Structure 1
Amino acid sequence: MFIFESALQTLKKYAEFNGRASRQEFWCFFAFVIIANALAGFVGAIFGMRGALPGLVAALLFIPQLAVAVRRLHDVGKSGRELVVPCVMLFLSGLVLGFRGILPQIVALGFLGITLLAFANLVTLFMKKGSTVPNRYGAAPTAFSFAR
């Protein structure tokens, strides 16, 4: 139940890109998105809407996912622009893998490897402990957790 309560708090900040998000807020919302997509896929398969329902859920959760990721990066003192390169590379990897021939496939595998490294760096930032003091993005999200 904790994941859903945390996800509800994150959804209340639907498109809020300012401020900071704790590790707990980010990872609980990440788990919620996985559960919501799996449930949408299951319900979509039952009712014959295999692509429509999961696609709708993914589209509805895209902006809050992006917002919480940007706020999480703010918590570790990084800009939200850190998301641009891995996301563009992920999009381009689908195009690069479409080329046929041995040389284009070798280049595509190298590009995919670099994309995985970019995402590994991003995951490392998401797992990093945020600063407990205010930074240029605002106060620490867990600074006054004793007051709850």
Structure 2
Amino acid sequence: MDSCCQTSTEKLTTPLQCPVCHKKGRKIQLITIKALLQPTALETIHPDLTYAFCANSSCEVVYFSDKQTLRKDTLKVSVYQKDNAFDVPVCYCFGWTRERLAKAVQQYHHPIEQIQQQVQANRCGCEINNPQGACCLGNVTTFIRTLVEI
């Protein structure tokens, strides 16, 4: 299996349109959906369909296909892009919430470097743990930038 934090031009290139907000989504692996849906929602998926992730923060839909939408209340975890709470993970594999990142930055620690070390040690599992099914380092970097700009 490829490392979740390696760039792949094949895995996630098919843009699909969310039927609720009409924003483009990105194709997501079925393993991500299977890992993160609550059991009752898992029973409703169609494994033969192509699903995509909706990153629009104002949309309730997390995953969608041409026949189904799965809303954020069907997941086992809160979705970073859809929940602004401070206790929501930004990095799902290593437990870096907005709160933990903010504290680390205030204390002049380097959470990005710590996460990168874990990724380089082949310990990340973003394709299973992160609802967007991709590496979280972009989200972590963006969030830290917002802290520095304040």
Asked whether the two chains share a fold, i.e. TM above 0.5, the reply is no
TM-score, length-scaled by structure 1: 0.30
After TM superposition, the score normalised by the length of structure 2 is 0.30
Choose between structure 1 and 2 for higher RCO, CA contacts under 8 A separated by at least 6 residues: 1
Higher helix share: 1
